[in-house]
Structure formats: C-alpha cells, structure tokens
Amino acid sequence: MEKANETSPVMGFTLLGLSAHPELEKTFFVLILLMYLVILLGNGVLILVTILDSRLHTPMYFFLGNLSFLDICFTTSSVPLVLDSFLTPQKTISFSACAVQMALSFAMAGTECLLLSVMAFDRYVAICNPLRYPVIMSKAAYVPMAASSWAIGGAASVVHTSLAIQLPFCGNNIINHFTCEILAVLKLACADISINVISMEVTNVIFLGVPVLFISFSYVFIIATILRIPSAEGRRKAFSTCSAHLTVVIVFYGTLFFMYGKPKSKDSMGADKEDLSDKLIPLFYGVVTPMLNPIIYSLRNKDVKTAVRSLLRPKGFTQ
C-alpha cells in the first residue's frame, strides 16, 4: 500500500504562498494589486506612444515597446494567480495550468535577457558609431533582432517545460512558492533530475552569462567613448541615453542571478522548510522590475514625455 501511494501520479499542485504568514496576505494582496495596475498602465501607455508617435519610430523605442509588451505578458502569466492565492484558502492549481504558467514565465524571462542585450548593442552603435547607426540599425536588422529574442526565449521554455512535465511527481504535491516556479517544481520530482539541472546550467550560460558579458563589454566601449567627448554637456547628454537601460539591466540581472545563478537539485531534508526570502525575491523580480521599467525609461526622457502629453492632450487644444 505504501508503494502504491508513493507512485500515484500527481494531478495538481498546492501552492503554499504565504500560508505560513497569513497576517501578511492582505497587505501583499493590496501592494501587488496596485503594482500590477501600475504595470498595466505604465507599460500600456509606453506601447501606445511608441506606436502612435512617429518621432518614436526608432530602433531604441521599438525595443522598448517590445520590452513593455513582454513585461505585461510576464506579469499577467503569474500575478493573477498570486492574487487569487491571497484570497482563497485552497491554493491549488492543475498540472496542465501549472505547466502553462511555468512555460510562459520562463519564456518571458529568457526573452527579456536577450532583449536587454540587443538594446545594449543599439546604444553601443548609437554612441560609438553614430554615423553608421542608420545603416547598422535599419528596420531590416532590428526587427529580426527582436523576433529572434522572442523565438529563442520561447524555444528554451518549451525545452525546459517539456523536460519538467515528463518527470514523475509522486506523493508530495506541495509547491513552496507563490507560482509554479520551475526550480520549486523540480524539487517535487521523485526521479533523477540531473538532466534538468544540466539543461538549466546550459541555459544560465546562454541567457545569463553571455548577455551579461556582451552588455558589460558594450558599456566598456560606451563609457570610453563618452569620456572622450570634450564638453561636459555632451558627456552628460550621451550618458543620459544609456543610464535608463543600465539601471534596468542592474536590477533585472542582479535579481535573476540571485535566483538562478546556481540551479538547485532536490533536497528532501529541506523541501518542506519555509523560506520567506526565497519567495519574496522572485516576487520582487516578477512585479517590481516590470513596474520600474516604464518609470525608469520615461522619467527623464523628453521624447517620451512629449509623446505622452500629445497622446493625452484633447484634440484642438494648444498651449
């Protein structure tokens, strides 16, 4: 009988979330709901202005529009589930819904890693080789760059999700997380996950190591070029075009490295232990970063602010 119980397949999962801290659930529900609304509003406005304002039809704002759309998709794939878990006593999710949520989150995270790299290349060309910028960053070049980022992120997600759902999940169906986070799900497998761990390590190199090196080298050349600009005003103006992207990169990759820098294998001794920080850090990555992106990019961007004013100004109104 014990053997049968251990090998019975899992049809769904229970998400612990903040079950061990019920006093925090209402507070976090309000905070995350407000953040989600800011994400939808801020990124939605940014997408609209990059489409409707012809002055923003440039590679930089095309990538920024992609980033904003990606942030909306990423948060929508997980935040409603998190909010629901704060309100319902039975925090369950079906196996298929868990797989879909895991696939979407992984695809969006991988795509954002590559998009930030492409945006760094765009800033490198604009500052270090401005005369050739229109040729190098033509529409025939930057559209495939963005499309490739989406395609590679999606392909990696399909691979990891396929490997994860093929594992047998026996007995313990409790995910010590807010959502179906892939590392938390892998801990529940009752089989060898060495292939999953190896594939995660390869993915870390592709989506973390390579992009970070590429972005770092890009900014070494960018900073060297800026320092050679004779006037202080010219240096300030040149750096202001990169400061927003650099800030987003630091926040995004800093959190991501902390989360996925070392893939964890199954640890039966610690599987049931509650670690609040291990949940709140991914929550920061999944909600706060997408909320900050439109604020960081538009707060000191005159082109975006002008475009937003034009969008919101009533027709026929003149100052």
Residue 273 pLDDT more than 50? no
Tell me how far CA of residue 42 lies from CA of 49, 69, 289, in angstroms: 11, 11, 12
Backbone φ and ψ of 192, nearest 5°: -65, 125
Residue 182 pLDDT more than 90? no
Tell me how far CA of residue 86 lies from CA of 20, 25, 80, 91, in angstroms: 12, 5, 10, 8
Q: Please, what is the average pLDDT of the chain?
A: 81
**Which residue shows structure tokens 């903040």?**
18
**Which residue shows structure tokens 């100004």?**
313
Rounded to an integer, what distance in angstroms lies between the CA atom of residue 152 and that of residue 146? 10
Tokens of 309: 């004013």
Taking residues 74-82, what's their average pLDDT? Answer: 87
Cross-strand bridge partners of residue 273: none
Tokens of 86: 């704060």
Rounded to an integer, what distance in angstroms lies between the CA atom of residue 205 and that of residue 55? 37
Backbone φ and ψ of 308, nearest 5°: -65, -45
Residue 235: which H helix or E strand, with range? helix 232-260
Sheet holding 174-175, edge to edge: 92-94, 12-15, 174-175
State the sign of the Cα–Cα–Cα–Cα dihedral 195, 185, 248, 301.
positive
| Burial 1-23, CB ≥16 within 10 A → b, else e | eeeeeeeeebeebbbbbbeeeee
The pLDDT of residue 295 is 83
The pLDDT of residue 258 is 67
| Confidence grade of residue 313 (pLDDT, cut at 50, 70, 90) | low
| Confidence grade of residue 319 (pLDDT, cut at 50, 70, 90) | very low
Q: Do the Cβ atoms of 59 and 312 come closer than 8 Å?
A: no
pTM of the model: 0.84
